[in-house]
Amino acid sequence: MSRLRAAVVGVGYLGRFHALKYAAQRDVDLVAVVDVDSDRARAIATEVGAAALPHHLDLVGRVDCVSVAVNTQYHYAVARDLLDAGIDVLVEKPITTEVEEGQDLLERAVRGGRVLQVGHLERFNPAIRAIEGLVTQPRFVECQRLAPFNERGTDVDVVLDVMIHDIDLLLAMVPSPLRAVEAVGVPVLTPSVDIANARLRFANGCMANITASRVSLKRERKLRIFQSDAYFSIDFDRRQVRVCRRERDGGGKPSLMFEQLEAPTGDALALEIDAFVRAVRARETPQVTGWDGLRALEVAHVVRESVQTEVRAAQVAAPD
């Protein structure tokens, strides 16, 4: 089996971890890293035993697949160039800033027969893997994703930076079209929205309430799922999954049964890159497709539009 040649474009906080995961892969050669900060590129290249290159187009002809971990506003241009050069791409979430750009990347990947995977990391979280096959028809879902302020990620608002994780999980979990969205949000420490809440209603009656914040005092990432036969409580940080079910004893009397599920071991990013490498080798559809990334982006934009509508309404209603 020939070895895959890989690279990472953008080796800041997250891109560095991509590089480390590729370097640890069997049958993969991490050929190069690319970053606009030449000192950072050289430092990471030394750490992982790769070359440091100044521009993503320098990868053409040298690699088979690339992780794109640059700032969100550059996702489209970098991924577009690489796909057009015949290179398979894992692009960090969100797939792009604008929906039209995401559509264009998807079309280019299809036309060129390229693998396009989107880095919705929570799909690979061991806690999510623990409930695979158990969540069937959610009726109500509550998501809380809160974090203290950090300058990293503030090139976009909290919807594209944080909430999009849970939007993607919801769309993968609820087998029904989205029918309505109501959202509110507030800029706190940046010019864009830093905390937001969205209520999503699906055609099958499922309701979801999502809160995302990057200005909270403590970090919290929790997901609660209610369906007709069970309640699931997931703590992403602790990788804990609790299930509550209603059962009947021998006399037919109902009772509640609580169970702690064992989350499988594993590094979510390593699992994500494993999946990408497998898709590249087998020329198969990746676990998180470009279409998945585009759907999440489309819903994120609907949420953002709803937030802006509420902000404008509040400004109109405010007294002089």
Give the tens place of pLDDT for each residue, 241-253. Answer: 999 988 766 666 7
Whether 73 and 35 map to the same domain: the answer is yes
The larger pLDDT score, comparing residue 311 to residue 84, is at 84
Q: What is the CATH number of the domain that holds 140?
A: 3.30.360.10
pLDDT tier for residue 12 given thresholds of 50, 70 and 90: very high
pLDDT at 198 over 70: yes
Q: Percentage of the chain surpassing pLDDT 70?
A: 94
Could you tell me the residue range of the domain that residue 204 belongs to?
123-266+301-310
What pLDDT is recorded for position 313? 57
Helix (H), strand (E) at residue 245: strand 240-248
Domain boundary among 62, 89, 114: 114
What pLDDT is recorded for position 311? 56
Whether 108 and 216 map to the same domain: the answer is no
Phi, psi of 144 (to 5 degrees): -130, 120
Q: What amino acid occupies position 160?
A: L
What pLDDT is recorded for position 217? 93
Q: Mind listing the pLDDT tens digit for each residue in 48-80?
A: 999 999 999 999 999 999 999 999 999 999 999
Domain boundary among 89, 114, 139: 114
Cβ neighbours of residue 81 under 8 Å, at least 6 residues apart? 56, 57
Whether 132 and 255 map to the same domain: the answer is yes
What pLDDT is recorded for position 316? 52
Whether 156 and 241 map to the same domain: the answer is yes
| Residue 29 belongs to a domain | yes
Domain boundary among 66, 96, 114: 114
Q: Mind listing the pLDDT tens digit for each residue in 143-162?
A: 999 999 988 878 899 999 99
The packing angle between helices 268-282 and 13-23, to 10°, is 60
What pLDDT is recorded for position 1? 59
Phi, psi of 189 (to 5 degrees): -115, -5
